[in-house]
Amino acid sequence: MKESLSGVRSVPIRGMDLRALESTSQSMALGLSGEEMLRLSDYFKGLGRDPTDVELQAMAQAWSEHCCYKSSKFYLKKYFSGLEKHDAILAMEDDAGVVSFDDEYAYVLKMESHNHPSAIEPYGGAATGVGGIIRDVLCMGAQPIALLDSIYFGDVGTRQWNDPSLHPRFVLDNVVAGIRDYGNRVGLPNVAGSVDFDTSFNHSPLVNAGCIGIVRKDRIVRSFVNRIGDIFVLAGGRTGRDGIHGVNFASATLEERSGQNRSVVQLGNPIIKEPLIHAVLEANDLGMIDGMKDLGGGGLSSSVGEMCLAGGVSAEIDLEKVLLKEPNMEAWEIWISESQERMLMAIDPSRLPELEEIFNRWGIEFSVIGKIVEGTNLILRYMGEKVLDLDLEFLTSGPVYCRNYDIPQRKDIDYVLPSESFDMGDLIKRFLSQPENCARFNITRQYDHTVRGDTIIRPMSGFPNHETHSDAAVIKPLEHSMKGLALTAGSRYNMVAVDPMGGTFGTMVEAYLNIMVTGSRPTSVVDCLNLGNPEDPAIMGQLVQISSAISEFCSRLGLPVVAGNVSLYNQYQGINIKPVPNIMMVGVIDDVSNSISSDFKAVGNSIFIIGKESTSLGGSHLLKFLGKTSSSVPWFDMDELKIISESYLKAVPSGIIVSAHDVSSGGLIQALLEMSFGGGIGFDTDITLVSGARTLEKLFSEGGERIIVEVPQSREKEFLEHFRGIAVTKLGKTTEGSVHVDDFGMTVIDGTVEEFKEPWVHGLDGLV
């Protein structure tokens, strides 16, 4: 190996055999397979020279699973490229999705996983997950306005833990602390999301962070550059040795990530991020940013490469212009470092003085690191030497694998329910006290929901000491307009584990209903797919089924998929996680003062259930609680969903519906109880007409497109008239605080709101 002034080495891969290539990949921590190394060696044979270490490291970043989606790209393209854009302005094109909000404004949204870092350093991993997703929204020129998170943990209550990986409870506490500290300090409300527990996440927790922002349509910044002569400005945090090889790391399973893990996780610094947001937005308001991208996985290497390739231009970069945290960093380290809080902007050189004034005022460091040029080759210089000179197309596009997939035959399993001689009230209380089914307040109360003053429906509804879960959060992003945005995120992964396709339909239906019950019309979808090892055809089978279900749902309901993320290799010692298609959905409501929350509003009102019956317990929380498995999930009827949603949204402005909640985890009974926990108003219901099934099935089935609504008694006739032609069943009426359920003339449940609320509220006590 030759050394030079810049410290850059030439790596003689042209003369290496497969074994030597593999060991080079390993010793340089490239994370590339032998075959990929062979491709590189052939390429450099064609060029007639060996690569520099900078070039090899850059290739490894660009070709990692994280950056080029080599395992999933083929199928994602197949299922998502044909979808219509509807209200979307940018769908699957840039760093985040952009969707029309009103004539003048657009909203920007994205959700991304940060699973692998969170598994080894939960606090920093979760915090930088939040930080990264804020930058994705910011780089479209948008003001970030709210956060949401879906997080999945293992058996947090277990006392048997002899594994070297972190205890699930430690992971839970620290992930929540990381999200809390970053979000609260940067001043963004955390308004929605989900928390789930399952032993399959014992060693592979999932952290999916989402962000939404708002931007004037004429100020949207694209993630590419095409103006020759523009300069690249790198602003925000300095570049250090932290976070090197994070993306290669994400392409490995946990037990492979032993040894030098330190450098891949950082803590994140929200105190720099806040002024950085101000500075970037101020510069964008003056129209000086021609293209922008945040620095995430792959660092400068991936951001510069992708920005230029998408714009059909190239760049010349001077690495010594990059501001460093520590001296003596090697060229390749500077180029691929994933240090946090950095933004890369392309501006016209004539506007540099203005930019300087703004960034100095906000106390944000920056430097000009290079310029945009014509040509096909990206050129890097360090200490006066050329250290990288590569064809951008070859460097950035990466390999695509059409991996084999297999959809295993499911065995038919008939679950046998216990005979109903037990005390139903007692069963429900035990069910509600489980971490999986109880209130999330211990977690959500650590987050600020109302900073910025835009939050109309918070994650909890009701009044102090009498609060319940909301379906979707509603925020009002613009001061001068009553128009609002509704946000939700989550997954019905228990159903997906049984049937990836049916379960994904279930997930989409729930997200849709969550948005709709608030009175908002869903207008966009972001999917965040979390799966096991893609080299296993059964895992690829899950990816294919999940993607096709999302695609079918969206084309039937007229929704665009505007952004997405795939996290693979969520595997530990050969055990894959249950597949989790985490769906973020956003809707628009014309007037937030019409928005509907989930808590019962008054005593004596009528309670109805809208939507046809569902009796299947497949993939339900009850079966999981009872320790039973099933081989099928309920059927979801997308045509019915469409009809219900049209009628429902028309009814909203008239005020005939005063509260509403969808039937999802925990079924009808959990939905009714949750409505009564907010405000303490009870219910007296008869479920005989809900379906002809057994009481347990009626109470706990999570299927169908069903919502429970509260209607003032005086407007019952008007309500029934409005929903004519749709399956609507009257359940009963709201009460002072008692809970009563009859079925076939027998009392099934008789108690008070308080006695059911107690176990539900305290389910996470002692854990977080």
Partner 1 sequence: MPVIRVDVEYLPGVEDPEAITILKNLKILGYDTITETRTAKSYEFRIEGKLEEARSTVDEIASKILTNPVIQKYSLQVVDP
Q: Is residue 270 at the binding interface for partner 1, with CB under 8 A as the rule?
A: yes
Pick the closest to residue 154 from 170, 138, 143, 141 (CA basis): 170
H-helix or E-strand spanning residue 647: helix 638-651
Q: Is residue 239 at the binding interface for partner 1, with CB under 8 A as the rule?
A: no
Residue closer to partner 1, measured from CB, 229 or 363? 363
Q: What tokens appear for 363 in the block?
A: 């106390």
Q: Which one of the spans 149-157, 259-267, 278-286, 493-501 is the region binding partner 1 (CB under 8 A)?
A: 259-267
Residue closer to partner 1, measured from CB, 169 or 449? 169
Residue closer to partner 1, measured from CB, 285 or 326? 326
Q: Is residue 576 at the binding interface for partner 1, with CB under 8 A as the rule?
A: no
Q: Give Cα 179 to chain centroid, integer Å.
A: 13
Q: What DSSP designation does 132 have?
A: H
Pick the closest to residue 501 from 638, 327, 328 (CA basis): 638
Show Cβ contacts of residue 184 under 8 Å, excluding neighbours closer than 6 positions. Answer: 447, 448, 451
Active site residue 66: yes
Q: Is residue 339 at the binding interface for partner 1, with CB under 8 A as the rule?
A: yes
Query: What is residue 605's three-state secondary structure?
Result: coil
Residue in 21, 58, 96, 166 binding partner 1, rule: CB under 8 A: 166
> Does residue 641 contact residue 705 with C-beta atoms inside 8 Å?
yes
Whole-number minimum distance, CB 152 to partner 1, in Å? 20
Pick the closest to residue 389 from 314, 323, 456 (CA basis): 314
> Does residue 372 contact residue 228 with C-beta atoms inside 8 Å?
yes
Q: Which one of the spans 134-142, 227-235, 240-248, 426-434 is the region binding partner 1 (CB under 8 A)?
A: 240-248
Residue closer to partner 1, measured from CB, 164 or 353? 164
Q: Which one of the spans 64-72, 115-123, 198-206, 555-563 is the region binding partner 1 (CB under 8 A)?
A: 115-123
Residue closer to partner 1, measured from CB, 123 or 677? 123
Residue closer to partner 1, measured from CB, 258 or 747? 258
H-helix or E-strand spanning residue 546: helix 537-557
| Gap between the Cα atoms of 595 and 191, Å rounded | 15
| Gap between the Cα atoms of 677 and 685, Å rounded | 16
Residue closer to partner 1, measured from CB, 119 or 641? 119
Residue in 303, 340, 396, 468 binding partner 1, rule: CB under 8 A: 340
Q: Is residue 357 at the binding interface for partner 1, with CB under 8 A as the rule?
A: no
Q: Is residue 265 at the binding interface for partner 1, with CB under 8 A as the rule?
A: yes
Rounded to 10 deg, the angle between the 753-761 and 424-432 helix axes is 30
Q: Is residue 241 at the binding interface for partner 1, with CB under 8 A as the rule?
A: yes
Show the site string, 412-451: x = touches partner 1 by CB under 8 A, - = not.
Answer: ----------------------------------------
Q: Is residue 121 at the binding interface for partner 1, with CB under 8 A as the rule?
A: yes
Q: Is residue 326 at the binding interface for partner 1, with CB under 8 A as the rule?
A: yes
Residue in 271, 402, 482, 603 binding partner 1, rule: CB under 8 A: 271
Whole-number minimum distance, CB 388 to partner 1, in Å? 24
Whole-number minimum distance, CB 86 to partner 1, in Å? 41
Q: Which one of the spans 140-148, 264-272, 709-717, 745-753 is the region binding partner 1 (CB under 8 A)?
A: 264-272
Residue in 208, 263, 571, 595 binding partner 1, rule: CB under 8 A: 263
Whole-number minimum distance, CB 455 to partner 1, in Å? 27
Residue closer to partner 1, measured from CB, 123 or 232? 123
Q: Is residue 184 at the binding interface for partner 1, with CB under 8 A as the rule?
A: no
Residue closer to partner 1, measured from CB, 69 or 572? 572
Beta-bridge partners for 294: 343
Q: Is residue 658 at the binding interface for partner 1, with CB under 8 A as the rule?
A: no
| Gap between the Cα atoms of 439 and 30, Å rounded | 44
Active site residue 114: yes
Distances (CA, A) of 280 to 187, 219, 298, 451: 16, 12, 22, 21
Residue closer to partner 1, measured from CB, 154 or 240? 240
Measured in degrees and rounded to the nearest 5, phi and psi for residue 28 equal: -95, 5
Pick the closest to residue 537 from 527, 545, 528, 529 (CA basis): 545
Residue closer to partner 1, measured from CB, 417 or 767? 767
- 671-683 burial code (b ≥16 CB/10 A, e <16): bbbbbbbbbbbbb
Q: Which one of the spans 236-244, 476-484, 518-526, 740-748 is the region binding partner 1 (CB under 8 A)?
A: 236-244
| Gap between the Cα atoms of 239 and 342, Å rounded | 8
Query: What is residue 593's three-state secondary structure?
Result: helix
Residue in 49, 325, 430, 717 binding partner 1, rule: CB under 8 A: 325
Q: Is residue 118 at the binding interface for partner 1, with CB under 8 A as the rule?
A: no
Q: Is residue 240 at the binding interface for partner 1, with CB under 8 A as the rule?
A: yes
Q: Is residue 268 at the binding interface for partner 1, with CB under 8 A as the rule?
A: yes
Residue in 4, 33, 261, 555 binding partner 1, rule: CB under 8 A: 261
Residue in 157, 312, 349, 363 binding partner 1, rule: CB under 8 A: 363
Residue in 29, 38, 220, 267 binding partner 1, rule: CB under 8 A: 267
Across the beta sheet with 289-294, the strand order is: 289-294, 342-347, 231-236, 366-373, 314-318, 377-382, 385-391
Whole-number minimum distance, CB 269 to partner 1, in Å? 4
Size of the site for partner 1 (CB under 8 A): 24
Q: Is residue 132 at the binding interface for partner 1, with CB under 8 A as the rule?
A: no
Query: What is residue 374's three-state secondary structure?
Result: coil
Amino acid at 656: I
Q: Is residue 205 at the binding interface for partner 1, with CB under 8 A as the rule?
A: no
Residue closer to partner 1, measured from CB, 72 or 263? 263
Alpha helices in 69-207 (DSSP H): 73-80, 115-120, 122-138, 168-186
Pick the closest to residue 618 from 510, 471, 496 (CA basis): 496
Q: Nearest-5° angle of CA 87, CA 70, CA 263? A: 100
Q: Nearest-5° angle of CA 439, CA 441, CA 442? A: 110
Whole-number minimum distance, CB 13 to partner 1, in Å? 29
Q: Is residue 242 at the binding interface for partner 1, with CB under 8 A as the rule?
A: yes
| Gap between the Cα atoms of 706 and 702, Å rounded | 9
Indicate the Cα dihedral angle 516, 518, 523, 529, nearest 10°. Answer: -80
Residue in 120, 188, 457, 731 binding partner 1, rule: CB under 8 A: 120
Whole-number minimum distance, CB 122 to partner 1, in Å? 8
The one catalytic residue among 86, 114, 203, 740: 114
Whole-number minimum distance, CB 138 to partner 1, in Å? 19
| Gap between the Cα atoms of 34 and 430, Å rounded | 53
Distances (CA, A) of 605 to 182, 206, 449, 736: 42, 41, 30, 11
Q: Is residue 269 at the binding interface for partner 1, with CB under 8 A as the rule?
A: yes
Catalytic machinery residues: 66, 114
| Site residues, partner 1 (CB under 8 A) | 120-121, 123-124, 166, 240-242, 261-263, 265-272, 325-326, 339-340, 363
